[in-house]
Amino acid sequence: MPPALPDGRVRGLLARGGFAVNLEWAEGALLTGSLRSRCGNRAVVRSATDLKVTVQGRPVRGRRPEQGLIVFETEAGKTYRLSAAGSARQE
């Protein structure tokens, strides 16, 4: 998260590949995020912390080609929840 904004929220950002993104963070750490797939493309997400990805409450299998990067397939119209891997927070 941006150091100049330790707490914040963004909604409705459009990301490359046909994704709508919502993020909420506090003290520089991700609290929750979502990635809505508009086209069913592969998602590539970079994060300073290890992420857990779920869809409809189920874990999503992804590849981790390098630290801080997760790559996973998506289906059009589905929303993928992002949270810090150690977080107990459920969406």
Say which residue the tokens 């397939």 belong to.
73
Architecture of 8-84 per CATH? Sandwich (2.60)
> 3-class DSSP state for residue 88?
coil
**Residues 17 and 39 sit within 8 Å (Cβ to Cβ):** yes
Q: Are 50 and 84 in contact (CB under 8 A)?
A: yes
Cα distance between residue 44 and residue 32, in whole Å: 17
Closest CA to 18 of 91, 77, 69: 77
pLDDT at residue 49 in the model:
82
Q: What is the mean pLDDT of each run of 10 residues along the chain (91 residues)?
A: 86 96 91 96 91 96 92 98 75 44
Tell me, what's the pLDDT at 39?
97
The helix/strand/coil state of 31 is strand
CA-to-CA distance for 80 and 6, rounded, in angstroms? 24
* In the chain, where the domains are located: 8-84
